[in-house]
Amino acid sequence: MGKKGILIGIAGASGSGKTLVAQNLYQTLGSEKVIIIQEDAYYKDLSHLSFEERTRVNYDHPEAFDHALLVEHMDRLLQGERIQHPIYDYTTHSRKKEFREVGPHEIIICEGILLLSIPELRDLMDIKIYIDTPQDICFIRRLQRDIHERGRSVDSVIAQYMKTVRPMFMQFVEPSKRFADIIIPRGGKNSIAIDILKSKIEELLSGRK
């Protein structure tokens, strides 16, 4: 069965600007055509663990994610079906009981740190993007985001960065750059790269019709 949709994968370090690139494409291509899916929503459900146990989990390791469900959902969206998209609560480190009904959409943009390191996801992608942003910038952005949006303390963000975020970036995220079709420096502020992507996506869309 031929694919009805186009899947764009956007990977890169935490704080590299993946979400901004996704949102720029979303606005450029038209919101009625596009859905953005975040890998973070597919963290494994750890509600059976105590909160203290959940805070000790390495959330930057591939094992923290339910990638099998993400692959299944991306495949179904590409076939023009609807999915029950999970909703993740960062403050409690757990998946909420409610879901979000999603689809169908012509263009699916999936963004997350580990997307290009998962072969089954790469195989579904029409365009594979890696956002290449200096690590000091990524850390500053993550620090600001986690304090203001996720209720974390400065010390906890720094501790997590040194213990898991940076080591996992070196082990899994950075090496996945070699699988990218396009490497974008400076993230969502790179308007030329966004324009090139838009043209390629429109070319793919016209080829499906």
Q: What is the pLDDT of residue 209?
A: 61
Alpha helices for 56-190 (secondary structure H): 67-78, 119-124, 135-148, 154-160, 166-168
Per DSSP bridges, beta strands 94-102 and 182-185 are unpaired
Can you tell me the distance from the alpha carbon of 107 to that of 53, in angstroms, rounded to the nearest whole number?
38
**CATH no. for residue 60?**
3.40.50.300
- pLDDT tens-digit map of 78-87: 999 999 999 9
* In-domain check, residue 204: no
Is residue 149 one of the residues assigned to a domain?
yes
- Tell me, yes or no, whether 209 lies in a domain: no
In a domain, 203, yes or no: no
Inside any domain, residue 208: no
Q: Which residues of the chain have pLDDT under 50?
A: none
Q: Which residues contact 202 (CB under 8 A, 6 or more apart)?
A: 29
Check residue 1 and give its pLDDT: 52
Q: Is residue 142 part of a domain?
A: yes
DSSP 88: E
What letters, b where the CB count within 10 A reaches 16 and e where it falls short, cover 8-35? bbbbbbbbbbbbbbbebbbeebeeeebb
- Total number of domains constituting the chain: 1
DSSP state of 56: T
207 within domain boundaries: no
How far apart are the C-alpha atoms of 43 and 27, rounded to whole Å?
Answer: 27
**Given this model, what pLDDT does residue 2 score?**
64
The verdict on residue 12 lying in a domain is yes
Distance of CA 134 to the CA centre of its chain: 18
The residue segments making up the domain with residue 15 are 6-198
Give 58: exposed, middle or buried? Use CB within 10 Å, 0-12, 13-18, 19+.
middle
